[in-house]
């Protein structure tokens, strides 16, 4: 993906070019958090060891590598480069075939946002790769967002692929925050919730992960296949019952909830994780810092809103706009920028095309109608919901332009069809898949 735009020089940022400025800042942000650049700068082969941050693991023999998630192809290729091709064997499970397959690696294309046959095949390959290892072996896991669907195998063999697709379809559209969705996923899966890591015991293990979850919940990345699980089967039952999900589950999964037969996942302090080490390569914070720096370069007084924004998209938009207005009032006459992250909650209410970022931008567009304000919301993975775009940008003129074209914002919102609203205006962000995922980025610009 080519994320860099031509150099943009703004001596006096103006509202007229605001949408272009917001897009530029987002694309520069994506270039800054490039996966290959991050791995080459943060992972080193020093002497006879692989060093990742404060973690150093001796390379007694070539490691085995399991990479899964949206960034799997890029991460595997870069690690192979760092290790000068000295990898015993590898498995990669990603959304697409690699541009250049690596020798000694096998590849599976998994489904997303719902698992596919490749998801099952990839999980089986990964389990076979890491099983029956010795304490002298070294297994490297490269984990990124999207792994929950891309690599999957249910614990109960009675659960079919069709059942898992329906299970995930229900979870993705039910409006639960990602941490609750992943509690449910972990307890149904043979690889999630630490079970893949347990299979690799007693080998020495290093998990290098790109976080698409809140920073304090690293075991939620790809539903934590290599990390001990803090959640419990009791929480799993409670979440499903509280939100009326049990009756909607496929019969093979519903039975496990009704009969209370879900097996517990391995927990913290489990000795089987004693040789496991973890290193966060990139997170949402890296993206927000990059966006802030990009806006400052263009003359904005910029701040990061550090609140937790995994809440209803309307609530978050209202709070972000209030914070932008407060920032503008505190610095009269200055162009200001507020940067926020996280992943808003946006239940699907209709059969249309779109996602949480475009729904957020559409709701915000109505709130800023007539004001000299710009808002951009986009996913760093390059895809927003079931749409072919990463998000959208709006300003104080968006609603007026839309109505002049006969577009009804309320109708598009009710139909979960924000994509066709913004694509009609030419205001989507079409980055293509980015081989990355560190949650969403929202950029608010105020021009006084």
Residue 3 belongs to a domain: no
How long, in residues, is the chain? 448
Tokens 């209202």 correspond to 318
Given pLDDT bands bounded at 50, 70 and 90, which one contains residue 5? very low
Average pLDDT of the residues in 358-367:
98
% of the chain at pLDDT higher than 90? 87
Average pLDDT of the residues in 175-190:
92
Q: How many CB atoms are located within 10 Å of the residue 269 CB?
A: 8
CA distance 74 to 88: 18
Q: Are residues 82 and 49 in the same domain?
A: yes
pLDDT for the residue 4: 43
pLDDT for the residue 212: 84
Q: Are residues 265 and 409 in the same domain?
A: no
pLDDT at 6 over 80: no
Tokens 């490749």 correspond to 118
Q: What is the pLDDT of residues 183-212, one digit of tens each?
A: 999 999 999 999 999 999 999 999 999 998
Q: Are residues 74 and 88 in the same domain?
A: yes
pLDDT at 54 over 50: yes
Q: Are residues 316 and 416 in the same domain?
A: yes
pLDDT for the residue 29: 97
Compute the chain's Rg from CA coordinates: 22
For 46, the domain range is: 35-282
Q: Which two tokens stand for residue 424?
A: 């009609």
Residue 432 belongs to a domain: yes
Q: What is the pLDDT of residues 92-136, one digit of tens each?
A: 999 999 999 999 999 999 998 899 999 999 999 999 999 999 999
Q: Are residues 266 and 296 in the same domain?
A: no
Residue 26 belongs to a domain: yes
Residue 6 belongs to a domain: no
Q: Are residues 354 and 231 in the same domain?
A: no
The vertex-89 CA angle with 94 and 67, nearest 5°, equals 25
CA distance 138 to 89: 11
Average pLDDT of the residues in 255-271:
96
Residue 4 belongs to a domain: no
Given pLDDT bands bounded at 50, 70 and 90, which one contains residue 1? very low
- The CATH number given to whatever domain includes residue 78 is 3.40.50.10180
Residue 218 belongs to a domain: yes
Q: What is the dihedral angle through the alpha carbons of 191, 193, 198, 200, rounded to the nearest 10 degrees?
A: 50
Domain total in the chain: 2
Q: C-alpha distances in angstroms, 259 versus 233, 252, 256, 262?
A: 12, 11, 5, 8
Given pLDDT bands bounded at 50, 70 and 90, which one contains residue 448? confident
CA distance 29 to 357: 17
Residue 8 belongs to a domain: no
Q: Are residues 19 and 102 in the same domain?
A: no
Domain end point (choices 282, 306, 335):
282
Q: What secondary structure does DSSP assign to 374-410, as a single string?
A: EEEEEETTS--TTSSSSEEEEETTHHHHHHHTT--HH
Nearest to 80 by CA among 69, 70, 90, 71: 90
Q: Are residues 182 and 312 in the same domain?
A: no
pLDDT for the residue 146: 87
Average pLDDT of the residues in 367-393:
96
% of the chain at pLDDT higher than 70? 98
Q: Are residues 409 and 270 in the same domain?
A: no
Sequence-separated (6 or more) residues with CB below 8 Å from residue 299: 10, 11, 12, 13, 335
pLDDT at 11 over 90: no
Nearest to 444 by CA among 233, 283, 301: 301
342 or 7, higher pLDDT: 342
CA distance 372 to 323: 15
Q: Are residues 130 and 82 in the same domain?
A: yes
pLDDT for the residue 177: 83
Given pLDDT bands bounded at 50, 70 and 90, which one contains residue 145? confident
Sequence-separated (6 or more) residues with CB below 8 Å from residue 406: none
- The CATH number given to whatever domain includes residue 397 is 3.40.1480.10
**Residues 125/108, Cβ–Cβ less than 8 Å:** yes
Q: Which two tokens stand for residue 413?
A: 């919102």
Looking at 2-11, 57-66, 353-362, which range is the least confident one?
A: 2-11
pLDDT for the residue 441: 98
Q: Are residues 260 and 297 in the same domain?
A: no
**Residues 167/252, Cβ–Cβ less than 8 Å:** no
Residue 305 belongs to a domain: yes
pLDDT for the residue 400: 98
Given pLDDT bands bounded at 50, 70 and 90, which one contains residue 8? low
pLDDT for the residue 239: 97
What's the predicted TM-score (pTM) here?
Answer: 0.86
DSSP single-letter state for residue 173: H
Q: How many CB atoms are located within 10 Å of the residue 334 CB?
A: 16
Average pLDDT of the residues in 59-73:
95
* Interstrand relation of 43-46 and 49-52 (parallel, antiparallel or unpaired): antiparallel
**Residues 64/89, Cβ–Cβ less than 8 Å:** yes
Paired with 210 in beta bridges are 282
Domain end point (choices 253, 282, 311):
282
Q: Which two tokens stand for residue 332?
A: 């009269």
Q: Are residues 305 and 438 in the same domain?
A: yes
Q: What is the pLDDT of residues 225-237, one digit of tens each?
A: 999 999 999 999 9
Domain end point (choices 263, 282, 301):
282
For the four alpha carbons of 371, 29, 207 and 110, in that order, the dihedral sign comes to positive
Q: What is the mean pLDDT of the chain?
A: 94
* CA diameter of the chain: 68
């Amino acid at each position: 993906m080519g994320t860099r735009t031509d150099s943009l020089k703004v001596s006096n940022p103006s509202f007229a070019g605001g949408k272009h400025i917001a897009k530029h800042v987002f694309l520069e942000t994506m270039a800054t958090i490039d996966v290959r650049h991050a791995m080459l700068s943060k992972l080193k082969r020093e002497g006879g060891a692989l060093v990742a941050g404060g973690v150093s693991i001796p390379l007694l023999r070539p490691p085995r590598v399991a990479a899964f998630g949206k960034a799997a192809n890029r991460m595997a290729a870069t690690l192979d480069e760092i290790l000068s091709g000295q990898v015993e064997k590898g498995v990669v499970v990603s959304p697409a075939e690699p541009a250049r397959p690596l020798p000694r690696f096998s590849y599976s294309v998994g489904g997303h946002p719902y698992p596919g046959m490749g998801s099952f095949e990839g999980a089986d390959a990964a389990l076979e790769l890491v099983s029956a290892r010795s304490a002298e072996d070294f297994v490297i896991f490269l984990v990124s967002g999207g792994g929950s669907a891309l690599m999957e195998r249910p614990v109960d063999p009675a659960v079919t692929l069709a059942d898992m697709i329906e299970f995930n379809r229900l979870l993705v559209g039910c409006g639960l925050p990602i941490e609750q969705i992943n509690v449910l996923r972990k307890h149904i899966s043979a690889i999630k919730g630490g079970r893949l890591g347990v299979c690799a015991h007693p080998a020495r293990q290093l998990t290098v992960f790109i976080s698409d979850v809140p920073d304090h919940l690293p075991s939620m990345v790809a539903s934590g296949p290599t990390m001990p699980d803090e959640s419990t089967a009791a929480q799993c039952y409670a979440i499903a019952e509280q939100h009326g999900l049990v009756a909607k589950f496929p019969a093979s999964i519903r039975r496990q909830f009704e009969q209370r037969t879900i097996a517990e996942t391995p927990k913290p302090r489990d000795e089987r994780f004693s040789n496991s080490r973890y290193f966060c390569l990139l997170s949402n914070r890296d993206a927000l810092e990059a966006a802030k720096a990009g806006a400052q370069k263009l003359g904005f007084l910029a701040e990061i809103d550090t609140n937790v924004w995994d809440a209803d998209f309307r609530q978050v938009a209202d709070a972000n706009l209030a914070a932008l207005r407060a920032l503008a009032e505190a610095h009269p006459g200055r162009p200001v920028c507020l940067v926020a992250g996280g992943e808003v909650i946006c239940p699907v209410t209709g059969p249309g095309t779109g996602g949480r970022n475009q729904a957020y931008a559409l709701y915000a567009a109505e709130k800023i109608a007539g004001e000299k304000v710009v808002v951009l919301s986009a996913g760093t993975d390059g895809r927003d919901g079931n749409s072919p775009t990463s998000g959208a940008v709006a300003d104080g003129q968006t609603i007026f332009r839309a109505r002049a074209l006969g577009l009804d914002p309320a109708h598009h919102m009710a139909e979960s069809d924000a994509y066709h609203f913004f694509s009609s205006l030419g205001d989507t962000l079409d980055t293509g898949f980015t081989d990355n995922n560190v949650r969403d980025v929202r950029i608010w610009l105020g021009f006084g």
